[in-house]
Structure 1
Amino acid sequence: MRKWYDSAVLAIAAVKRDCSVAAVIAGLIAVTVSYAGPLLIVFQAAKAVQLSDAQLSSWIWAISFGSGLTGLILSMRFRAPVIIAWSTPGAVLLVSGWAAYTFSDSIGAFVLSAVIITALGFSGLFSGIMKRVPQSIIAAMLAGILLKFGVEVFVSLKQLPILASPMILSYLLAKRLYPRYAVAVTLFVGLIAAYNLHALSFEHVSVGLVQPVFTLPTFSLEALLGLGIPLCIVTMVSQNATGIGVLRVDGFNTPANPLITATGIASLLTAPFGSHGINLAAITAAICTGKEAHPDFDKRYIAGIVCGLFYMLVSIFGATIVSVFSALPNELVAVISGVALFGSLSASLSAAMKDEQQRESGLITFLVTISGITLAGIGAPFWGLVAGIITDGILNGRIGGLLKRLVTVKP
């Protein structure tokens, strides 16, 4: 016990010594960017299935507190700015496919996704499996899921041009001058425009603390295959793999397996409270891993700690966040959600069409995913993935080899 106490004292002393204004600001900006864009997609998903305010508040608490605590622990443990967030592609997936399943079955799908992610991280199988599934197919599935959000930006331009136009223009200008803060700038401009148009309604905004709602998960084959498996795939590929890449680019050789395992466990523990998935951050991570966070490489971990603390603080006021965001006009939400995903959409489309041999399988995956078809109660993203793998196997004559490699995968 004494040993644990001494270690804690030393860790706190190190944090105090290494703390800097730049790192604190970087952590705060990372949290602000997360709530400025990705959180709005959570609201769209909640509207799609008509969640109650209590369920939505619990969901926000679960993803915020889970992300914050996990990031705080990992940043202190590895002395690296490990930024954890909720799965943005996962939330996008929910918008398009959640309505087909009951809420408790969806929670069961979240649990399955978390268990698989934990197993992949603990066993080290993640990198092995990803090498065996063509990246163009996975990228095409993600692009199909994201497409709707990009389209909605310009649908909003038609519905309320006086609000959408300045937001799109400000996004483009900020992307040119201050790319990291483009989403935050767009949201700020949108709020000003909405205020001037009297489109904001804060009459029902209230300040209140969150009351987490526990939902006992139930399991149906349709939800597990149609929601759980695609959720796991998009989270691992578009978030965890990218998050590891961001750390590596800035020189942090933090071992991947413990990070993936920790996010899987966090997702599992928070799933019954509504969390669809907690993972390594990518875009916001870049704010904290670079020189902007601190010139001294060894002191940037403070940004990860600060980010975690802010997430945990904000999570307490989940009910307040719900009431504030409910006051925003639909067009503002659509535009900010769409521009926040422009980068992911363009990167996914590019990756899907990059390899000439796999271009057609990527195209079929993309088309099946955006079709919205549901077969045997299972949604389009899963069938898009299946169609792409079958197409790739037939066109490239390796379907038997692919199946063999998948069942014999080694860490």
Structure 2
Amino acid sequence: MSEETTHGPVLAGVVTAVVGFSSSFVVVLAGLTAVGASPDQAASGLLTLLVTQAAGMLWLSVRHRTPVVLAWSTPGAALLASATGVTGGWPAAVGAFVATGILIVLTALVPRLGDLVAAIPQSLARAMLAGVLLPLCIAPVTAVVDAPQAVAPVVLTWLVLLRIAPRWAVPASLGVALVTVLVTADVDAAALAPTLAWTTPHWSVPALVGVALPLYVVTMASQNVPGVAVMGTFGYRVPWRETLAVTGIGTVVGAPTGGHAINLAAISAALAAGPAAGPDRSRRWIAAVSASVTYLVLAVASSALAAMVAAAEDGLMQAAAGLALLGTLGSSLADALADPREREAAAATLVVAASGVTVLGIGAAFWALVVGLGCRAVLHRPAPEPDPDEEPEKAPA
């Protein structure tokens, strides 16, 4: 195998992993911390996610010679970050992660479960995600007011690169934030070594309903289903049921050491499956292998990065996370509000999700779907039927 043949996919795989990791690892740490993880447990969760998704990618890409790229559930991490705590604390959150993995495996075994997720109107699913993301995306605004000297360079870096090199806008702004931490913060050297922290899962009804169910829905609707569509645009067919089984098992295995969910990649999948991975489509699976190896290398440094995030000034890393999620917020809002007939129900879903309320120990994301589905049932208007007496407009000659 010549160097010319492999250089494109290998380099594309490295870029895929670096961009995928740097664009959202702060969101993952924020999400795990919000549901009760200590700094060591959050760092363990980040390491676990990197290892499990790398292992799953190696299996699927080598077995099927297809550039199947896996990732952690960024929308799921954002959902966790919006939580105000979990009844039962961190062990109950871990139990919810296990339940999420079981639901994903069951979806592979019982396709009807996937049909139920698909039956949730996309406008409501996207509105729920937008509501979850909104408070997180406000963080750069409040942070730049509270700590302008630290946060303004992060925002300016993101803005400039968004204009000239959009792919690197989020990683570069995060890099500026990390440099600021190195210069200004006291990082605990003892926390730099990679470690795994075991937590025995505990199951509670509020955690299962308020964390596991919404986490499963956003992972399926915002990651797995779009991931298949992205791969399809490049002419690849994802081994759907096997991928669900692999990611579901990986989620269950990784949950006790803090991993919340792994799934098909959506946006970063295009880097490994597209032309950037070389002109020969039959060789692009090498990009997925390269990405998985890069993720394993990043896993070694994950604890050090988590320690830097933990040592950062309040608001700095939250601002970087908010910038990373701004594009997802924009696309979610556009999809949620696109259909005028669904707009009121979607808006109600959004505001309930953004409210952060907890009722009966169950978080806002679940209640947002309940309210949205209820409003839709009352307010939904069918599409107007065409008037048979009205002649269709003729196309100009």
Does the Cα contact within 8 Å between 2:47 and 2:194 map onto a contact in 1?
no
- Tell me: CA distance 1:288–1:200, structure 2 relative to 1, closer, same or farther (3 Å): farther
Measure, in 2, the Cα distance between the counterparts of 1:167 and 1:57: 23
Could you list the runs of 5+ residues in structure 2 that have no partner in the other structure? 383-397
Does the Cα contact within 8 Å between 2:117 and 2:220 map onto a contact in 1?
no
Measure, in 2, the Cα distance between the counterparts of 1:30 and 1:326: 26
* Match 2:321 to one of 328, 337, 344: 337
Measure, in 2, the Cα distance between the counterparts of 1:96 and 1:121: 29
Does the Cα contact within 8 Å between 1:72 and 1:304 map onto a contact in 2?
yes
Aligned-partner SS, 1:252: coil
* Match 1:384 to one of 353, 357, 368: 368
Match runs of 1:149-298 below 5 Å = 149-192=136-179, 198-202=183-187, 204=189, 207-210=192-195, 212-298=196-282
2:393 matched to which residue of 1?
none
1:134 aligned partner, one-letter code: P
Does the Cα contact within 8 Å between 1:69 and 1:309 map onto a contact in 2?
no
What's the CA shift string for 1:63-103, capped at 9, x where partnerless? 11101100111111121211111111111111122613321
Does the Cα contact within 8 Å between 1:78 and 1:254 map onto a contact in 2?
no
- Tell me: CA distance 1:185–1:321, structure 2 relative to 1, closer, same or farther (3 Å): closer
- Tell me: CA distance 1:35–1:325, structure 2 relative to 1, closer, same or farther (3 Å): farther
* Match 1:113 to one of 78, 84, 100: 100
2:122 matched to which residue of 1?
135
Does the Cα contact within 8 Å between 2:124 and 2:345 map onto a contact in 1?
yes
1:368 equivalent in alignment to 2:352: yes
Measure, in 1, the Cα distance between the counterparts of 2:36 and 2:97: 18
Measure, in 2, the Cα distance between the counterparts of 1:17 and 1:163: 44
Count of residue correspondences: 381
Match runs of 1:69-88 below 5 Å = 69-88=55-74
Measure, in 2, the Cα distance between the counterparts of 1:80 and 1:61: 25
2:288 matched to which residue of 1?
304
Does the Cα contact within 8 Å between 1:157 and 1:164 map onto a contact in 2?
yes
2:50 matched to which residue of 1?
64
Does the Cα contact within 8 Å between 2:181 and 2:311 map onto a contact in 1?
no
Does the Cα contact within 8 Å between 1:163 and 1:194 map onto a contact in 2?
no
Alpha-carbon offset, residue 162 of structure 1: 2.8
Measure, in 2, the Cα distance between the counterparts of 1:207 and 1:151: 30
Aligned-partner SS, 1:125: helix
Measure, in 1, the Cα distance between the counterparts of 2:12 and 2:113: 30
- Tell me: CA distance 1:139–1:122, structure 2 relative to 1, closer, same or farther (3 Å): same
- Tell me: CA distance 1:182–1:397, structure 2 relative to 1, closer, same or farther (3 Å): closer
Does the Cα contact within 8 Å between 2:35 and 2:80 map onto a contact in 1?
no
Does the Cα contact within 8 Å between 1:18 and 1:302 map onto a contact in 2?
no
* Match 1:30 to one of 4, 11, 16: 16
Does the Cα contact within 8 Å between 1:226 and 1:382 map onto a contact in 2?
yes
When structure 1 is superposed on structure 2, of 126-135 and 199-208 the one drifting more is 199-208
Alpha-carbon offset, residue 389 of structure 1: 0.6
RMSD of equivalent CA atoms: 2.3
Does the Cα contact within 8 Å between 1:19 and 1:302 map onto a contact in 2?
no
- If the length of structure 2 is used for normalisation, what is the TM-score? 0.89
Could you list the runs of 5+ residues in structure 1 that have no partner in the other structure? 1-13, 399-411
Alpha-carbon offset, residue 377 of structure 1: 0.9
Alpha-carbon offset, residue 193 of structure 1: 5.7
* Match 1:144 to one of 114, 118, 131: 131
Measure, in 1, the Cα distance between the counterparts of 2:377 and 2:199: 41
When structure 1 is superposed on structure 2, of 253-262 and 112-121 the one drifting more is 253-262
* Match 1:43 to one of 20, 25, 29: 29
2:19 aligned partner, one-letter code: V
Aligned-partner SS, 1:329: coil
Does the Cα contact within 8 Å between 2:84 and 2:356 map onto a contact in 1?
no
1:90 equivalent in alignment to 2:76: yes
1:9 matched to which residue of 2?
none
Identity of aligned residues (%): 32
2:357 aligned partner, one-letter code: I
Measure, in 2, the Cα distance between the counterparts of 1:201 and 1:122: 49
Measure, in 1, the Cα distance between the counterparts of 2:349 and 2:192: 45
Measure, in 2, the Cα distance between the counterparts of 1:154 and 1:275: 30
- If the length of structure 1 is used for normalisation, what is the TM-score? 0.86
Measure, in 1, the Cα distance between the counterparts of 2:194 and 2:132: 33
Measure, in 2, the Cα distance between the counterparts of 1:331 and 1:97: 17
1:348 matched to which residue of 2?
332
When structure 1 is superposed on structure 2, of 376-385 and 242-251 the one drifting more is 242-251
Alpha-carbon offset, residue 166 of structure 1: 3.0
Measure, in 2, the Cα distance between the counterparts of 1:339 and 1:204: 28
2:234 aligned partner, one-letter code: D
Alpha-carbon offset, residue 36 of structure 1: 1.7
Measure, in 1, the Cα distance between the counterparts of 2:319 and 2:24: 12
